[in-house]
Structure formats: C-alpha cells, structure tokens
Amino acid sequence: MKNSSRFFVLIMLFSQVAFSQKLPELKIEPPFWYANMPTEKLQISIYGKDISSWRASIDALGITLVNQTIGDSPNYLFLNLEISPDVAAGSFNLTLHKKKKALPIQFELRQRPSDSNRNQGFTSEDVIYLLMPDRFANGNPDNDTVEGMLEPARRDDPSGRHGGDIQGVLEQLDYIKELGMTAVWLTPVFENDQTPEYKAYHGYAATDMYKIDRRFGSNEEFVAFVEVCHAKGLKVIMDMIHNHIGDQHWWMKDLPFKNWVHDQSVYGNTSYRGPVASDPYASKHDKDRLIKGWFVDEMPDLDQRNETLADYLIQNTLWWIEYSGVDGIRMDTYVYPYKEYMARWAKEVIEAYPNFNIVGESWVETVAHESYWQEDRAGENDGYNSYLPSVTDFQIHFAVRDGFNSNFGWESGLMKLYYALSQDRLYSDPMKNVIFLDNHDIGRIFSTLGENPDHLKMAYTFLLTTRGIPQVYYGTELAFKQGTQGGDGDKRAEMPGGWEGDERSVFTASGRTEAENDMFDYVKKITNWRKTSEAIHHGKLLHFVPESNSYVFFRYTDNERVMVIMNMNDEPLTISRQKHIEMLRGYSEGHNAITDEKVDISKDFTVAGKTTTVLTLK
C-alpha cells in the first residue's frame, strides 16, 4: 500500500510538472505583496492562455480567498483575498485547479521596511525640484537604446528620447541639494514602450505599471535612488497617471474586459475642458467628451467604473508606495477621469499612509474651478469631496505670467497677484497648494517674462515667499530659454554636462556662464534662506492692495515676521512706514535675505527698482 501510494504521488507530481510546461508563462501582478499592510485586501491578477477556466484555492492560515473574477477575455483570472494582520512575512501556496490538474504557485509576502524616513509626505516647508529624467543627465549610456524596445535614443530630435536616466539624476543630487531644494519630482519612470513616432520619453504613456522603463533603469535602481535621496535629506515625489495608458500597453492586445477602456470610435478625443467636470450646468455630451474621450490617439482612456480596474489601479499605487518608499505622488490629468474614482483613490491612499501627500494636476481656468478639487471644499456646492490634499495651483502661474506682461492698472500688472491670492477663501487650505512659475507642459518662464533676469528673480522670490508649496522646474535656476523649433521639446532642454562629450557642464560653477552663475547664486541664496523661516513655512499671509506698481505682503507667526516688497518700477521706491504700521509696529530693523544688509524701518525707507525685497523684521 505504501509503495502504491508513493507511485500515485509521483505520477501526480510528474503530471503537474509536465502540464505546467505546456502552459504559457503566467504574468502575475503584483509580483509580490507585504505582510501587515494597512489594508487587508489583495487583488492578484493572473494572465495566461485560457486561465479563466481554472479555479484557485489557498491553503494558508489567515488568508481568505473572497472571490474569483473572470473577464471578457479568457486569459485573465482575478483573485480577491483578505489577509489578516497576523499573517507573518513569507510565502503562501496558491493552487490553480482544472479538472484533475493542479498548478501550484508560491506568492511572496515580504516584510515591510521599517525605515522611519519613508513615505514622509511633502509640506509648505519643502521646495520641490521638477525634472524630466530623459533630459536631465545620462548616467548610463548603455541603456540609451535597449534591444527589443521600440524607441531608440535620438538626441538630434528635440522631441525624441535623449537617454537621460535615473543614474544620471542620482549623480547630480548634490547639485539639486546645493540649490536648497528639499524634494525631487521625477516625471513618470514607468515603462513606456511606445513606437518611435509617438516619442514617449516623457513617461506619460505607460505600457507596464509595475516596471520602471529599462531605458531609465530598473525597479531596484529606482528604490536605491529613493534611499540615496532620503540619506541626503531629499524627498521623492512619484508621477502617476490613472486617466490613460499607452496604446502599446500589453493590455491593449487582449483587454481583460471590453469596458476596460472607453471606445474611441464613440467618444473621440477629449475636449481638454477641465472646468466641465465641476460645472453644475454641464451637458452629458460635454461630460462624456471630457471624461471618456482619449487624451491623444496613442493614449487609450481608462474606464475606472470597472471595479476590477479600479482595484488594480489603487493597489498598484499602494504597492509602489510600500515598495519604493516615495514620499508623495503627483497625479497627472486629475480632472479627466471619473471624479468618484479619483476621490476613492485619494481617500484610500491617505488612509493607508496618513503622513503621505498627493497633489493632483488640476489645469483649469479660475480659482473657483481649481478649489473644487481640494478636499473638504467642494461639498458645499454639490456634495462631492475629492479627498485630495493638494492641487497644482495654475492660478499663481497665470497671475505671474499675466502680471509681469502687462502694465500696472486696476486689473493688470501686480494686481493679478493680488486678485489671485484674495480668493484663497475658496480653498480648504491654500497652504497645501503646489505653486509654480512653469513646468514641463508650459513655456519656459524666463522667456515668458521677456528673458529679463530681474523679472525672473522677482517672480522666483515671490514664489518662494507667498503661501503654498513651491515647485521649481529644472533649468529655471539657469534661466533656461524657450526653444525655437516648436513642440514640447522646446520646453524640455537637456542640462549641458549631463551627457558624455558635452562641451561644458552647468553642474559646476566653472562650466556655467556668468549669467547662469548669477541666476544660480540668486536661486541658491533665497532657496536656502527659505529653509530657516518658520513664517514662510507656516505663517499667515497679510497683504496690501498694490499701489505705485508695487505689491507688499507679510508672512508672520507669533515669533517671526517677514516683509516682502515687489517693486516693478525701474527706479527705487520709498516705502511708507505709516501705511504698513499694523505690521511694522514694534519693529525697527529688517534683515535683507538676499544682500544680508540691515535696513532701518523705523521710518520710511527705500527699496531698489526691479526687485523683490525680502526683510526679516527685528
């Protein structure tokens, strides 16, 4: 009996092995998970030929298979599990059954990292440095063009892939830190294996959401990058996209569900009219076109109403947060997907990681449209709560752009800054807004401001002293100009010195021009000074209606007071003590944050023309 039992077991093992060899390779997502996660839910996606005809079982204490879902394609099986908080790290056995056949799979639950400097979030104490890895620095030329991937490196094409990578950014972290930046935001580094014609160097057309693009590096290199940033006192913000994917995503060859993406033949491309999403009078036609239309032809639009897809996307986010240790997320095209899904996503992410932060890209036209997307605000209008802590404050960009390019008047010039900020009551917390002069989608701010170095310095100082979380686009510190060839490549120039063979390196003082060093030193001075000011980090804001082509505002706490004076005139301007006495009473001296000079403010005093003067009051 013992011999026959042994023979039966050997036959079963042999049949399982033989059968498994006939199966195509299974794609399992996530590739692993963690024990003791802040959520007990786990969705395992299994992709393989005719896998939907199989059924799973799990034999593991504390792990329950809640249900199994099959899609419209026969090649997907989705398993929904509950994992008890008591389950220890290790592997558990998951077995797929079909008639008398069995296919064992070991799934790993890793130990959660215990480092205290992970998932820190970002706040108004930070200054975020936004860069595009492909255009910043090329640390590993060997991965510029990868065999088997569709798009090679083409440095001669302003809109092509140039070869910058994670290693290149890693090698220049000291440059970023010298500037005074405290956080680094990388545009997406997910695999974007798109055709050469599309040019997906920017990263916004994901073809695999669990992989770093091999031309940027590997998953392991990204994790190591985050760890080095943390060791240097820099936070990391990851860019994500849940509105769309790339048309070369592996899903598109075999969609799990027919409604996984919207039908472009029905809805066409989006209108890009973000205000429609919060418009109480919007037509169904306009809503459908915004939400269901594709961003461009190469970006299939996801339908997050599919519950399995929604679970997949949320879980992918949690996986990256836990796996990499990143401190925040910037969510692309936040107003384009279904807002109910985006609220669920934001809520579940923040509940899982309370110290984390998220900023949503809300590129809309007015303060009212912008404020709709911040948590705990829009419910006063239609009952919607986004649960989104931070929005990209395009209104500050618009105000700077228009204010510096118009003469001072009732509704123009520096009044633009005043009008934008005077509507802050519409936000639940404007201090959480991410503010910026430009970014990778907007013309270079130096050119926008007429390529006037004084104007750039004035605008930059305003950005770093007003309320909110400043974001600085790479190259601003060097007064990068807008290109002239047309297209997005004009906004996304390389950093000279980031590539082997470059004639000079802007990463060193000796490699920069005199004008570049002048701007670099200015940015470095005011950005590092900002680190020392509690009033700028967390203080209240009080401002005065602009007069005489100037704008004065204060940032203050009980223990510190900072006076900021924007003088757009070519000539010096006398500042009245009496006009500002409510904030100057009790103070007789100011310390100039830029020049380190002492200023007597016990009486009327003078500030230079074409400057933003910052005085710490004493």
Give the catalytic positions in this structure: 332, 361
Residue entry with tokens 């829009």: 378
For 137-156, the three-class secondary structure string (H helix, E strand, C coil) is CCCCHHHCCCCCCCCCECCC
Q: Are 81 and 63 in contact (CB under 8 A)?
A: yes
Give me the torsion for CA of 285, 287, 288, 289, rounded to 10°.
80
CA 442, CA 398: separation in Å to the nearest integer?
A: 11
Q: Which two tokens stand for residue 28?
A: 């399992």
Q: Quick one: tokens of 221?
A: 């290199």
Residue 332 carries which side chain, given as an amino acid letter?
A: D
Whether residue 30 is preceded by a cis peptide bond, meaning omega within 30 degrees of 0, is: yes
Cβ neighbours around 463 below 10 Å, total? 23
Distance CA 298, CA 252 (A): 11
In whole angstroms, give the CA distance from residue 609 to residue 420.
24
How far apart CA 500 and CA 613 sit, in angstroms, is 40
* CB 352, CB 39: distance < 8 Å: yes
Q: What span, in angstroms and rounded, lies between the C-alpha atoms of 321 and 313? A: 13
Helix (H) or strand (E) holding 196: none
Strands 41-47 and 76-83: antiparallel
SS (H, E, C) 5-24: HHHHHHHHHHHHHHHHHHCC
Q: Measured between alpha carbons, how far is residue 459 from residues 104, 327, 420, 429, 539 in Å?
A: 61, 28, 15, 23, 20
C-alpha 266/C-alpha 253 separation (Å) is 20
Between CA 491 and CA 373 the distance in angstroms is 27
CA separation for the pair 229, 176 (Å, rounded): 10
Instruction: Sort strands 328-331 and 235-240 into parallel, antiparallel or unpaired.
Output: parallel
Place of tokens 């911040």: 374
CB within 8 Å of 145: residues ≥ 6 apart: 152, 153, 163, 215
H, E, C per residue of 592-612: ECCCCCEEECCCCEEECCCEE
CA distance 556 to 551: 17
What is the Cα–Cα distance from 509 to 379, expressed in whole angstroms?
Answer: 51
Q: Which two tokens stand for residue 124?
A: 């108004």
Comparing CA positions, the residue from 25, 27, 103 lying closest to residue 312 is 27
Bridging pattern class, strands 90-98 and 589-592: unpaired
Return d(Cα 192, Cα 207) in angstroms, integer.
5
Which residue, 299, 277, 440, is CA-closest to 343? Answer: 277
Using an 8 Å Cβ cutoff, are 382 and 146 in contact? no
